[in-house]
């Protein structure tokens, strides 16, 4: 009996058919997997709001880092340039520029991330932290991320003989002429108002004191109206004590939610690549470790080397233009009219109150009381 004309041919056909079916279902499974992965990835992508986007550069970084959508909000006309930047970089599908105040614009969804370059001189002067608080309370998802996540304002007593000499001692002998009659006026001109300048670690007399720690997740507008603290320092050297320096650092914690869930490079990491000469950044071996940027005086004295700071006084972290301006120059100095000679271990104590001016909400009043070597002083100044 002829069972088959050609069994081996039938078998081959059967096998081929089986194989095609197998391939089809394999392909289907592969396709389903791709679709699920794409959905998952899309699901994991973040919605971001850039509070006070300015030129829009942070929004662009976020889009490049894989954000699903970025709302770039700015109250001023710069929003028009931000729109152009977005178009030029072909990111109009991802970045929505909103020209208006954060307090007034509408965003019809909750956001995963708030990013903002809100810091001002002395951290809080003319700062936009109030608008970040508004954005947080209006749109941030429970468990969402705020970048930077917290900030700390520090103060320390400083010695700055060169600065004093250039501004004051100069008048004692000008081309052989005794112009010391100018001294009171020169002191007033040079030291009445806070001055924004760069100092080094050699100017600092001892470890700093924390004036205010800002947790961006919990801070309230009310808390910002007046900040006060008592301090007690012990000078680490014998030196003329010329005044107090203030500086801040900002911390970016929670970045692992990007690295853990998204293959795209971190906005933060890609920004770091833009650091210009002289910038230093902390390398994060562990992505869950917070990234800290500081305006602390560079080159702290040797006794500081094991200190808690990551020192990056020239870091251009966000916008090469604007952030650099704030970060590189933001040691705020409050000088006395006359220096106090302090010995090693001499105690310097007192209090400082930073408050919003009633005369102009943009101004900051600084009330400083300090005592050392049995003498006490008060210095009032206005940051305007």
- The residues annotated as belonging to the active site are 117, 126
Report the C-alpha gap between 114 and 111 in whole angstroms. Answer: 7
Looking at 112, 117, 249, 251, which residue binds ligand SAM (CB under 6 A)?
A: 117
322 binds ligand SAM (CB under 6 A): yes
Burial class (CB in 10 A: 0-12, 13-18, 19+), 44: middle
- The verdict on 102 binding ligand SAM (CB under 6 A) reads yes
Residue nearer to ligand SAM on the CB measure, 74 or 251: 74
Shortest distance, position 56 Cβ to ligand SAM, whole Å: 7
CA distance 352 to 370: 8
Out of 57, 95, 219, 224, the only residue in the binding site for ligand SAM (CB under 6 A) is: 57
Q: Give me the least distance between CB of 316 and ligand SAM, in Å please.
A: 10
In the complex with ligand SAM, the residue whose CB is nearer, 76 or 288, is 76
Of 73 and 219, nearer to ligand SAM (C-beta) is: 73
- Binding status of residue 101 toward ligand SAM by CB under 6 A: yes
CA angle 25, 28, 33 (to 5 degrees): 125
In the complex, least distance from residue 196 CB atom to ligand SAM, rounded to whole angstroms: 15
- Does residue 75 interact with ligand SAM by CB under 6 A? yes
Binding ligand SAM (rule: CB under 6 A), the pick from 159, 294, 316, 319 is 319
Distance CA 334, CA 370 (A): 12
Q: Is 58 in the site for ligand SAM (CB under 6 A)?
A: yes
Sheet holding 140-147, edge to edge: 95-99, 69-74, 47-51, 111-116, 140-147
- What residues have CB less than 8 Å from 125, skipping those under 6 apart? 332, 364, 383
Q: State how far the Cα of 312 lies from the Cα of 124, in Å rounded to an integer.
A: 19
Residues, the chain, total?
A: 384
Using CB under 6 A as the binding rule, whether residue 74 contacts ligand SAM is answered as yes
x/- site string to ligand SAM, residues 130 to 169, per CB under 6 A? Answer: -x--------------------------------------
- Print burial letters for 56-66: b (CB count within 10 Å at least 16), e (below 16): bbbbbbbbbbb
Q: How far is the CB of 77 from ligand SAM (least distance, A)?
A: 8
Torsion sign, CA atoms 181, 185, 186, 188 = positive
Where does this chain bind ligand SAM (CB under 6 A)?
52-55, 57-58, 73-76, 78, 101-103, 117, 128, 131, 318-319, 322
């Amino acid at each position: 009996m002829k069972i088959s004309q050609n069994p081996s041919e039938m078998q081959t056909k059967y096998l081929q058919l089986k194989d095609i079916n197998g391939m089809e279902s394999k392909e289907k499974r592969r396709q389903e997997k791709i679709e699920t992965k794409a959905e998952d990835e899309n699901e994991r992508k973040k919605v971001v709001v850039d509070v006070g986007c300015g030129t829009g550069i942070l929004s662009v970084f976020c889009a490049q880092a894989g954000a699903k959508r970025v709302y770039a909000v700015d109250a001023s006309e710069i929003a028009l340039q931000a729109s152009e930047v977005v178009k030029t970089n072909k990111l109009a599908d991802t970045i929505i520029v909103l020209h208006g105040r954060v307090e007034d614009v509408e965003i019809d969804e909750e956001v995963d991330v708030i990013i903002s370059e809100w810091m001002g001189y002395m951290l809080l002067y003319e700062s936009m932290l109030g608008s970040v608080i508004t954005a947080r309370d209006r749109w941030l998802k429970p468990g969402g991320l705020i970048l930077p996540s917290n900030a700390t304002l520090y103060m320390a007593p400083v010695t700055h003989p060169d600065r004093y000499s250039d501004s004051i001692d100069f008048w004692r002998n000008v081309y052989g002429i005794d112009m010391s009659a100018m001294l009171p006026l020169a002191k007033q001109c040079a030291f009445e108002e806070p001055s924004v300048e760069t100092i080094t670690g050699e100017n600092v007399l001892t470890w700093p004191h924390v004036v205010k720690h800002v947790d961006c997740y919990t801070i309230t507008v009310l808390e910002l109206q007046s900040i006060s603290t008592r301090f007690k320092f012990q000078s680490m050297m014998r030196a003329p004590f010329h005044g107090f320096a203030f500086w801040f650092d900002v911390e970016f914690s929670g970045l692992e939610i990007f690295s853990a869930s998204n293959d795209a490079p971190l906005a933060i990491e890609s920004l770091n690549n833009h650091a210009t000469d002289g910038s230093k950044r902390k390398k994060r071996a562990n992505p869950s470790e917070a990234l800290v940027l500081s305006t602390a005086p560079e080159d702290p004295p040797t006794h500081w080397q094991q200190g808690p700071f990551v020192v990056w006084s020239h870091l251009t972290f966000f916008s090469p233009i604007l952030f650099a301006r704030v970060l590189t120059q933001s040691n705020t100095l409050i000088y006395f009219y006359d220096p106090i000679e302090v010995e090693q271990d001499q105690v310097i104590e007192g209090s400082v109150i930073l408050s919003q001016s009633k005369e102009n909400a943009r101004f900051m009043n600084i009330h400083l009381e300090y005592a050392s070597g049995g003498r006490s002083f008060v210095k009032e100044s206005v940051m305007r």
